[in-house]
Every structure is written in structure tokens, then in C-alpha cells.
Amino acid sequence: MPAASETAKLQKKMQNCLSCLNVTLKVLLTPDITKNSHGEIKGNVIFVYDSDEREAWKTFTHEIFEYKLKSVTRPYRLLINSLIEAFEKSIYSEKEQFIEFLPKVMEIIKESQPEESRA
């Protein structure tokens, strides 16, 4: 586990990288070997959990790439979600029409049967 001053220096270097890249995130180095991941982005903060400096830089880089990639894929996610929503509305309408049709089917069939066949 690096000393607090080393962690602070590394965190400052990473924050400077973000500033140079015009990435409006903050970085927080919180070495934690109990975490299941090396890092993550929560809100507007990149959390890096690695205690090894080399690994921390790899994780930091990975999280920046992931952050930028999300902005590239966002329009596709919005499009897909819009299509799903439209499809669900269409299916709901069809289902409602079908449900309204069922009693009519039952009534017509019942009326068409001879008296003795009706139960």
C-alpha cells in the first residue's frame, strides 16, 4: 500500500491528465484490495482501487476510454430504447384489441349453438 503522500501525488497527476483532456471528471485514488473491480465511474468521479501505480494507471486509462466510449454509443442506446418503447406500445394496443375481441367470440359462438349444446 503506497504512502498517503504518494497516493495524493499520483491522484494529482491523474487529475491533471483529465484537465488536459478536457474530461470533466474527478479522480479519486482509493486503494482497496477487497473490491471486485480495479476501478469504476460513479457519477462524475473515477474511482481507482489499485494500490500498484502501474496498475492504477492502466485502470485510470481504461476508465477514461470507457467514459468516452459511452458518449459515442449513447445515441445508439437512445435509438434502441425508443424503438423498444414504440414496439411495446404497438404490442400493448394489439393485445388490448385481442382481449376486447375474446368476449365477442364467446358470445357469437354461444348464440350460434343449439340450445341443448349450450352449457
pLDDT in tens, 13-66: 999 999 999 999 999 999 887 888 899 999 999 999 998 999 999 999 999 999
Q: Where are the domains of the chain?
A: 4-112
The CA distance from 6 to 109, in Å, is 83
What pLDDT was estimated at residue 118?
Answer: 62
Across all residues in the chain, what is the average pLDDT? Answer: 90
Place of cell 458518449: 71
Domain 4-112 bears CATH identifier 2.60.40: no
- Give me the pLDDT at residue 4, please: 81
Positive or negative, the Cα torsion across 40, 46, 51, 52?
A: positive
DSSP state of 116: G
Comparing CA positions, the residue from 17, 20, 12, 67 lying closest to residue 39 is 67
Q: Is 22 left (phi over 0), alpha (psi -120 to 50) or beta?
A: left
- pLDDT tens-place string over residues 71-114: 899 899 899 999 999 999 989 989 999 999 999 999 898 888 88
Supply the pLDDT for residue 2.
62
Residue-by-residue DSSP string for 35-69:
SSSSEEEETTEEEE--SSHHHHHHHHHHHHHHHHH
Percentage of the chain exceeding pLDDT 90: 69
Vertex 9 angle, CA 7 and 13, to 5°: 115
CB atoms within 10 A of CB 107: 10
Q: What is the per-residue pLDDT for 45?
A: 97
Task: Give the pTM.
Answer: 0.66
